[in-house]
Structure 1
Amino acid sequence: MILVTSATGNIGRCLVRELQESGHAVRATTRDPGGAEFPDGVEVVAGDLEDPDSLRDAFAGVSGFFLLGSPGDVPAILHRAAEAGVRRVVLVSSLLAETHPGSFIGSGALAGEKAVRDSGLEWTVLRPWEFTSNAFWWIPSITEHGSVYSHENPEGSQVVDPADIAAVAASALTELGHEQRIHSLTGPEKLTVAQRVAVLAEELGRPVDFVELSTEQARERMLEYMPAGIVEDMLATEGGDPGLSDTVRRITGRPARSFRQWAREHIAAFG
C-alpha cells in the first residue's frame, strides 16, 4: 500500500491516478474525505498534516508515502510513519534549496530535506522548479479583464508540469534505485511570463494581454493572495539559473511535458 498525502493537490491527484492505473494499491489522505473524488479502487481516509497523530490510521500497512513540501511538524510526521513500519518517503522539496538556499522557500525546503534524511527511512527528494500550474493564479484577471498582470523575468523560467513531478514520484515510490537520492526537475524549455500568456491566448482562441508590472506593483498584487515570504522569493530569486534537467526523461522514459501540453489539458479552467 502506498500513501499519498496532499492527495487533492495538483501533484497529489496526478500521483494517485498514476499509481492506481499502474496497478498499485493506493491510499489517499485528505482533511475532508467526503468531499474528495478519486478513481475507483483508491482508499480515501481522513488525515491532517498539521496534526501528525491524525495520520496513525493512514500509515497502517503502508510501505511508502508521498509528502509535499514541509507542512507542520515534519519530524513528527516521519516519526509516526516509522512507528507504523513505513519504509520509504518521497518528499517534494524545491530547487530553490540548491539555487537560493538562504531564501524563505529555499531554507524551508532544506529543513524538510534534513528531516527526511534524519528519519531513518529510505528517502528520495524531488526538487522541482516553478510549476506550470502557477498559471492558475492568472484565472481571475484573464476571465475578468482579458489580461495577465505580472512581474517579468526576462530570462524566462523552466516551468515543470505537476504531472511530471507525479510520474517521477511514482517511480521513486515503486522502483529500486532512488534511495537516498535527490532529483532535480524542470520543464523542457524556458518561457517568460509573456510567452506563457501567449500560449494561453492561442489555446483559448482569443486575445489575452500581458501587462508587465514593476516589482512594487507586483508585490502589492501578490500579497493579496500569497504569504509575504513566498512573494519576496518570487520577486527576488531571479538568476541562479538551474538549467534544463533531463530527470523526467531519464526516469520515466518520456520527455518532460511542455507548457502548451499543460495549457491544452487545463484550458477549460481559464474560461
Structure 2
Amino acid sequence: MILVTSATGNIGRRLVRELHGAGFAVRATTRNPGGADLPAGVEVVHGDLADPSSLRDAFAGVDGVFLLGSPGDVPGMLHLAAEEGVRRVVLVSSLLAETHPDSFIGSGALAGEKAVRDSGLAWTVLRPWEFTSNALWWAPSIREHGSVYSHEVPEGSQVVDPADIAAVAARALTEPGHERRIHPLTGPERLTVARRVAVLSEELARPVEFVELSTEQARQRMLRYMPAGIVEDMLSTEGGDPGLPDTVRRITGRPARTFRQWAREHVEAFR
C-alpha cells in the first residue's frame, strides 16, 4: 500500500492516478475526502499534515509515503510513520534548496529534507524548479481582461510539469535504486513569461497581452495574496540557473513535458 498525502493537489492527483493505473494499492489523504474526486478503487481518508496524529490510521499497512513540502510537524509525522511500519518516503522539496539555500523557501526546503534524512526511513528527495501550473495564477486576468501582468525574467525559467514530478515520484516509490537520492527536476526548455503568455494565446486562439511590470509593481500585486517571505523569494531567486538536468527522461524513459503540452491540457481554465 502506498499513501499519497496532499492527494488532491497538482502533483498528488496525478500521482494517485499513475499509481492506481499501474495496479498499485493506493490510499489518499485529504482534508475533505467527500470532495476528492479520485479514481474508483482508491481508498480516500481524512488526513491533515498540520496534525500528525490525524494520520495514524492512514499509515496502517502502508509501505511508502509521498509527502509534499514540509508543512507542520514533519519529524513527528515521520516518527509516527516509522512506528506504523512505513519503510520509505518520497519528499517533494524545492530546487531552491540547492540554488538559493538561504532564501525563505530554500531554507524551509532544507529543513524538511533534514527531517526526512533523519527519519530512519529509506528516503528520496525530489527538487523541482518552478511549476508550469503557476500559470494558473494568470487565469482570472486572462479570462476577464485578455492580459497578463507580470515582471519578466530575461533568461527565462525551466518550468516543470507537475505530471513529470508525479511520474518520477511514482518510480521512486515503487522501484529500487532511488534510496538516499536527490533528484533535481526541471522542464526541457527555458521560457520567458512573455513566451509562456504567447503559448497560452496560441492555444486559446485569441490575443493575450503581456504587460510587463517593474519588480516593485509586481511585489505590490503579489503581496495581495502571498506571504511576504514567499514574494521576496520569488522576486529575488528568479533567474538562478539550475541547468537542465535530464532527470525526467533518465527515470521515466520519456522526455520532460513542455509548457505547451501542459497549456493544451489546461486551456479551459483560461477561457
> TM-score by structure 1 length?
0.99
- The equivalent residue for 1:250 is 250
RMSD: 0.6
Q: Say yes or no: does 1:232 pair with 2:248.
A: no
Q: Deviations over 1:9-40 (max 9, x none)?
A: 00000000000000000000001111111001
Alignment of 1:127-138 (within 5 A): 127-138=127-138
| Aligned mates of 2:38, 2:240 — CA distance in 1 | 38
- The equivalent residue for 2:71 is 71
Q: Say yes or no: does 1:188 pair with 2:188.
A: yes
| Aligned mates of 1:239, 1:35 — CA distance in 2 | 38
- The equivalent residue for 2:172 is 172
Secondary structure of 1:126's match?
strand
- The equivalent residue for 1:15 is 15
What are structure 2's unaligned runs of at least 5 residues?
A: none
| Aligned mates of 2:8, 2:228 — CA distance in 1 | 24
Secondary structure of 2:90's match?
strand
Are the counterparts in 1 of residues 157 and 238 from structure 2 also a CA contact under 8 Å?
no
Secondary structure of 1:268's match?
helix
- The equivalent residue for 2:36 is 36
- The equivalent residue for 2:46 is 46
Which amino acid is the alignment partner of residue 269 of structure 2? A
What are structure 1's unaligned runs of at least 5 residues?
A: none
| Aligned mates of 2:239, 2:140 — CA distance in 1 | 29
- The equivalent residue for 2:157 is 157
* Cα drift, residue 245 of structure 1: 1.1
| Aligned mates of 1:226, 1:267 — CA distance in 2 | 24
Are the counterparts in 1 of residues 157 and 239 from structure 2 also a CA contact under 8 Å?
no
Secondary structure of 1:115's match?
helix
Are the counterparts in 1 of residues 65 and 89 from structure 2 also a CA contact under 8 Å?
yes
* Cα drift, residue 239 of structure 1: 3.7
Are the counterparts in 1 of residues 153 and 239 from structure 2 also a CA contact under 8 Å?
no
| Aligned mates of 2:92, 2:17 — CA distance in 1 | 17
Which amino acid is the alignment partner of residue 229 of structure 2? G
Which consecutive aligned stretches of 4+ in structure 1 deviate over 3 angstroms post-superposition? Answer: none
Which amino acid is the alignment partner of residue 93 of structure 2? S
Identity of aligned residues (%): 85
| Aligned mates of 1:227, 1:18 — CA distance in 2 | 33
Secondary structure of 2:266's match?
helix
* Cα drift, residue 240 of structure 1: 3.0
Matched residue count: 271
| Aligned mates of 1:82, 1:157 — CA distance in 2 | 38
Which amino acid is the alignment partner of residue 26 of structure 1? V
